[in-house]
Amino acid sequence: MTNLLVFREQLKKFYGKYELYLTPVGKFLMALVSLSMINSAIGYMSELKSFTVVLVLALMCSFLPMNFTVVVAAAVTLGHLYKFSLECAGVALIIFLLLFLLYFRFSPKDTIAVLFTPLCFILKIPYVMPIAMGLVGTPFSAVSVACGVVVYYTISYMIGSASVLNAFEADGELEKFRYVIDGILSNKTMFVVVVAFVATLVVVYFVRRLSVDYAWTIAMVTGGLLDILILLMGELMYNTKLSIMGLIVGSVVSVLLAKVLEFFVFNVDYSRTERVQFEDDEYYYYVKAVPKNTVTAPQKRVKTIKVPDKAVRQQKRDRE
Amino acid sequence: MLNEERIKLMTKMASYEENEARRNVMIGSYFRGDYLGLQVIKSIISATIAFCMVFAAYILYHFEELIADIYKMDLFEFGKSVIVDYLIFTAVYAVISYGVYMYKYASAKKSLKKYYNNLKKLSYLYEKENKK
């Protein structure tokens, strides 16, 4: 444990020292990974798949605000869908624009969750999103995560029904459009997952704010279990074709990932908790102060010992 | 060591620190009416665009039925219902955003004022402690 804490301190120090360079590099890598994942999942437009384009876009993202990455990811997704089928691109454009126009005006900080949620779905660990956002976000992050779920299921539905869409006649644009809208609106899995994720996020948020020891760990485990429970109930009620093994393994991995997040964000030592009480003119304070786990990172120092020339000469003379 | 007075201050400041300082400074530079007016106008514009998009999607979805019924249906009545829907949607969205931004403005102003005072106090407390 001490080694891990030392590692964390060193990491913090390193970040503090090179923050100016590390932040753009981090944004660049994030954009690069996101765009590559989008390309491998729905890479219909070959122009967008070329490494140069991805590299240039990622470089742009590294110097612009985080929200720009989301806009770029949405644009690339639309480009691929346009090549795939115009109707799908139209539906996706409507959904993206509705999200940007109606919701992201209120909470621009959460926008990134909309990008991360589909990416976590591709990595098969979507369950980490509601837990992580409940731990570090606010209850309103639920809307962002829900939007991410809608985006993922919409696009995966479109890609999944490629063969059906191709079977429509050349002038069947309206039927295709109708087929896509019907498919999205009758996608029960999507609604069950939205409900499960929103409930999980809100519960995780409220449990981790409780003033009990190990609130964060309790929140994660409760959230994970609640998520599994709602998804299983959804499976029983609506036959959502969810892989139960995947759900359980994914949830366990998600809780472990959340534990890693906790290590970096909220690492406290409950054994040294102090409770103090005092008052001022307006309030009584019942303060529970939990100290953070900190260690000072040992510093390596290279010390060069310089022997004065005079001593060297003296030694030589002695040997002779 | 725990310092009572410092904890009191930091407890008060915690509510502010959850929000972003820079954004609050930006909000604080507006007069209340100006800020709310501007945000509500922006909301109405985005609600209008959003409604147009949803309406266009609706028309496309029901295109064939609409074309078949176009001579039978009461176009005036249809237009009226669309406009009523639009007004309701925009009004609800505008009211929600008015509420959201009113809250944002009030909390930004309040916390900015408190925060600056508390910062001064806190730095004074640290100074005092260092001198000891």
Please write the tens of the pLDDT for every residue from B44-92: 999 999 999 999 989 888 888 888 888 888 888 889 999 999 999 999 9
B1 confidence band (pLDDT: 50, 70, 90): low
Residue A113: its pLDDT value, please? Answer: 86
Residues in chain B: 132
**A147: nearest Cα among A171, A188, A181, A116:** A116
Low-confidence stretches of chain A (pLDDT < 50) are none
Q: Across the interface, do B97 and A97 touch by the CB < 8 Å criterion? A: no
Q: Across the interface, do B8 and A278 touch by the CB < 8 Å criterion? A: yes
Q: HSE-up of A255 (CA within 13 Å, CB side)?
A: 20
Integer Cα distance of B27 and B101 in angstroms = 10
Residue A161: its pLDDT value, please? Answer: 84
Q: Work out the angle at residue A141's Cα, subtended by the Cα atoms of residues A185 and A122, and round it to the nearest 5 degrees.
A: 60
Q: Does pLDDT of B36 surpass 80?
A: yes
For residue A64, CA distances in Å to A71, A265, A273, B16 come to 11, 25, 42, 27
Q: Across the interface, do B20 and A109 touch by the CB < 8 Å criterion? A: yes
Give me the phi and psi of A289, to 5 degrees please: -110, 115
For residue B7, CA distances in Å to A288, B113, B125 come to 10, 19, 11
Shortest distance, CA B108 to any CA of chain A (angstroms): 14
- What ranges make up the beta strands (E) of chain A? 274-279, 284-289
Integer Cα distance of A145 and A223 in angstroms = 15
Q: For residue B48, which residues of chain A lie inside 8 Å, CB to CB?
A: none
Q: For residue A208, which residues of chain B lie inside 8 Å, CB to CB?
A: none
Q: Does pLDDT of B15 surpass 70?
A: no
User: In this complex, which of B42, B53, B100 lies closest to A94 when CB atoms are compared?
Assistant: B53
- Considering only alpha carbons, which residue of chain B is nearest residue A179? B61
Integer Cα distance of A33 and A4 in angstroms = 27
Q: For residue A101, which residues of chain B lie inside 8 Å, CB to CB?
A: 46-47, 49-50
Residue A196: its pLDDT value, please? Answer: 94
- Considering only alpha carbons, which residue of chain B is nearest residue A97? B50
Lookup: tokens for A69? 């990455």
Q: Across the interface, do B53 and A97 touch by the CB < 8 Å criterion? A: yes
Q: Does pLDDT of B41 surpass 90?
A: yes
Residue A202: its pLDDT value, please? Answer: 95
* Residues 6+ positions from A10 with CB-CB distance below 8 Å: A297
Output the furthest CA–CA distance in chain A (Å, rounded): 103
Chain B: which residues have CB within 8 Å of chain A? 2, 4, 7-8, 11, 20, 42-43, 46-47, 49-50, 53-54, 57, 60-61, 63-64, 93, 97, 100
Q: Across the interface, do B60 and A98 touch by the CB < 8 Å criterion? A: no
pTM of the full structure: 0.79
Q: Across the interface, do A101 and B42 touch by the CB < 8 Å criterion? A: no
User: In this complex, which of A91, A101, A106 lies closest to B49 when CB atoms are compared?
Assistant: A101
Q: Give the ipTM of the model, two decimals please.
A: 0.70
Integer Cα distance of B112 and B114 in angstroms = 5
Cβ–Cβ < 8 Å for A223, A207: yes
- Considering only alpha carbons, which residue of chain B is nearest residue A288? B7
Integer Cα distance of A266 and A246 in angstroms = 28
**A113: nearest Cα among A126, A94, A123:** A126
Which residues make beta-bridge pairs with A277? A286
Cβ–Cβ < 8 Å for A155, A180: no
Q: Does pLDDT of B19 surpass 70?
A: no
Shortest distance, CA B101 to any CA of chain A (angstroms): 8
For residue B63, CA distances in Å to A27, A181, B59, B89, B116 come to 44, 14, 5, 23, 59
Shortest distance, CA A208 to any CA of chain B (angstroms): 15
Integer Cα distance of A161 and A167 in angstroms = 10
Which residues make beta-bridge pairs with A172? none
What single letter denotes the amino acid at residue A76? V
Q: HSE-up of A317 (CA within 13 Å, CB side)?
A: 6
Distance of CA A238 to the CA centre of its chain: 28
Residue B18: its pLDDT value, please? Answer: 54
